[in-house]
Structure 1
Amino acid sequence: MTAHSHDNVLRLASPTPLAGRAKPVRIEEVAARAGVSAITVSRALRKPELVSPKTRDLILKVVEETGYWSNPHASALRSGRSSIVAAFVSNFLSHQFGLAVRACTHVLEGHGYQVMVGQTAYSYSRELTAIQSLRALRPAAVFFTGVIELEDNRQMLRDLNIPIVESWANPPDPLDMLVGFSNTDAGRLAASHLAGQGYRRLAFVGRSGGRGALRLAGFRQRAAELGLQVAEPVLIDWVDGVDDGRTAYRTLMQQSPDVEAVFCANDLLGVGMLTEARRAGRQIPDELGILSFGDNDVSGDLSPNLSTISVDSELIGRRAGELILDRLNGNAAGAVSECLDIHLTCRQSTARGVADIQAGR
């Protein structure tokens, strides 16, 4: 089995004290107001046929008054089980996130679940809003194309008491279930590959936080071990599209014109970097090697085609769906953490004089 590095994911305290926010209603409060036991409340919501109609109606009335399991879908309240699974992607523009959600959806739809998709946009505030919305929607489970860093948000998700799958990183302390990979190893692999192609002066272009920071840390770490020079990174808070890669190329050339190769920790940045370098007349890979992360559906069609590091996004989504389904069906319990291998596809943009070499990690 391949050994994978853990990602040193940030764990951040919230700037707003948790005590100042409305706490979710506990089942014991519903039971007390209805004059029944907590077990009876649970039965009324999950197995209503085991509770008398009069008692069930009373419990549902209290549920609606208190907001406990407040769900706009009345049928979900009465069956005790929602058919909605919420999926939150970091960026709607990402081809990889789309593949993962589609694969997760294929697994779940065959069992009567519907997947609703939202975007967190790498924003703590938007992440908080999304999690608060879950308290009203009360889905059966949640899938994130990322990991939750803010401790208050992690606690609110725990309080929902539903299956939660994080992904796209490999922290040692996942919230519930995890299907991820090591971003630290991805950065290390990038530096190793570029060194193997003969590049000595390297640069990094990517997001300033989250997974971008993890990839940069691994990249710097491995470059130092190999005695390579790493220029000042070009850091971006939010990637809107390929144009950000074009802008990053111009910034990099102003900052570090002697750079020989660059690792773009996002596929959109890599595509933009390559097209702008070609427009500027740079010979790829002889004058500048470009390695990307993600391997989107145009990477192999560019001229020259783009070398990439990637993970099986569809496998992440499929495993997320399977883990959710197992938990909902009562076939599995407890924390699960799965770390997938990353893969290198060496193409013309880094292979000096070599084209279309496929290399596994």
Structure 2
Amino acid sequence: VKHTKCYMVEGYTDVISLHQAGIENVVSSSGTSLTENQISLVKRFTDNLTILYDGDDAGIKASFRGIDMILEQGMNVKVVLFPEGEDPDSFARKMSKSELKDFISENEQDFISFKTSLLLQDAQNDPVKRAGLVSNIVASIAIIPDAITRSMYIRDCSSLLHVKEDALYAETNKRIFKKRDDTRKREFSKVRQEINLKQSTALPGFIDDVFAEVNEKELISLLLNFGDHELYSETDEASFTAHSITVAENITSEILNDELEFKSLIYRQIFEDYITSIKNGEVLESKYFINHQEDKIRKLAADVLSENYKMSTIWEKDGKKIEATETRLKEIVPKTINTYKLKILNQAIKDNETQIKSVGNDIEKITKLIERKMALIEARKELIDLTGGRAIF
């Protein structure tokens, strides 16, 4: 018989008793904390997992972290709570096969709703505890990869907790963005080590002296015109779920991860507004800046948006038909970012050469500066390749 779900219990005696009662699609966690390997083994056969708990509340709460790991892999988790003093083994011995199956079927509930109800009993009318409860539930919802499933849980929790759906969505999106941002930072750290930029203490210092107004304006123009457009999607290898990445998310992530900073105060303000909105789970639209409280930002937004950035499907250049900016974002956005970084690297190399000339015969200092220069040149070489072989000096 092919089953569409798997039951999980704590001990082997529970497995044996349930098997004897006719429930064969059951596994044991062996009384230990769940591991990713155990979850992966179950997921190979089914995405539906029902956990059978005894009546020990403390034990149930201790297992919450393991259940979150299951949710993170995109599995559907349900819970059956046995009567107080009973566990799957003892209960199966007391009941007939049909009674046991009926009990499990009638008392099965999804894990998020179960967790909400259980924690709600402890929080009662204490506002601090209820706030902590909301945060706890949102943490579990945020790790679910499927957006539709998340929205359904948010709707149910809104009803149970008497909290507006908008607030739950905002908090959930904030956590999702933080997780993505942390992942990108880890990935960037690996890349940075590979090109030896991490060992170069010169680059951050040089950045302070570089004013790339033209390049900064190009990035701001992309943000204002296309910030809320999807640039690409990332697929979670564990859940095979795609996550949309906007132009604004990509640009802000690249700039922050490289620890760069706009020198133009007005551009910096716009950039920081985007960062704040993304952390709140939103992406600003251009109309926000058109109606901005700062006069200078309103004027800049109007000027940038009127500079014919959003062109028709094609436009003419040197007699050739070229695709419009909006249809070439996957090419234009990374190239604009890398061109900006390239200008900063070029200035860093020039300043490094000046330092080498100024240290005289100090071999130790010269050696360190040359090592930095080689790392910067290697980084520049990679950026030139990424910008289509176009050097910028």
Band of TM-score, shorter chain: under 0.3
TM-score (norm 1): 0.23
Greater strand proportion? 1
Between Structure 1 and Structure 2, whose CA radius of gyration is higher? Answer: 2
Greater helix proportion? 2
TM-score (norm 2): 0.21
